[in-house]
Amino acid sequence: MNRQINSTPLLHGVPIVLLCAESEGKVDVTTIGDVAVMGLNPPLVGFSTHENHLITELIDRERKVTINIPEVTQMKEVDFCGIHSGRERDKASLFRLERTEGYVRTGDCPVNLHVKVLERVQIKQRVIYTGEVKATYVREDLIPEGKLDMRSLKSLHYGLDNRYYSIGGDIGTGYREGRDLS
């Protein structure tokens, strides 16, 4: 029997990403866990930030952001970017930044998504964005023989128990495992 606890969006584990945005020469890198795939065709993502954060201001100005997927080896830098404000600390200096067509991304992360913001909605203090992925960059070792293979990606995830996690190996193939249940 399940027991009711405090109302919380208990989805485990939440992917942790680094958002990068730039406007008027100012770059901010911030950590969020409020991110999700919203569709594949067109390629849409959703994410949210706090209304008072510098990243929100930069995204609102340019309507461009990069979602960077860090690995477990970057946990300290990722945690630092979630602890400190971009208004008070230069978090961008922790990373090797790369720029393409008005987007800034961390070259240190194995996956980068250039996202053009399509919609902005505010609910209480949260600003929720929906955006279209305009370009995807993937580290070479994740594309052996020209085919995407995410098994070696050691992405960082967060649990609402205030712990970081990593995903283990693959356990099945989508759209195949349930075929026998008809």
Report the C-alpha gap between 98 and 30 in whole angstroms. 16
Q: How do residues 42-56 score in pLDDT, each as one tens digit?
A: 999 999 999 999 999
Whole-model pTM: value is: 0.93
pLDDT at 10 over 80: no
3-class SS string, the chain: CCCCCCCCCCCCCEECEEEEEEECCEEEEEEECCEEEEECCCCEEEEEEECCCHHHHHHHHHCEEEEEECEHHHHHHHHHHHHCCCCCCCCHHHCCEEEECCEEEECCCCEEEEEEEEEEEEECCEEEEEEEEEEEEECHHHCHHHCCCHHHCCEEEEECCCEEEECCCCCCCCCCCCHHHC
Structural domains in the chain plus CATH codes: 14-169 (2.30.110.10)
Query: Any idea which of 78-87, 88-97, 130-139, 172-181 has the lowest mean pLDDT?
Result: 172-181
Cα 156-159-162 angle, rounded to 5 deg: 105
Six token digits for residue 123? 């609910």
pLDDT at 5 over 90: no
pLDDT value at residue 82: 96
Q: Is the dihedral of CA 152, 156, 160, 162 positive or negative?
A: positive
pLDDT value at residue 6: 86
Mean pLDDT of 72-95: 96
Higher pLDDT residue, 96 or 167?
A: 96
Rg (CA), the chain: 17
Residue type, 103: Y
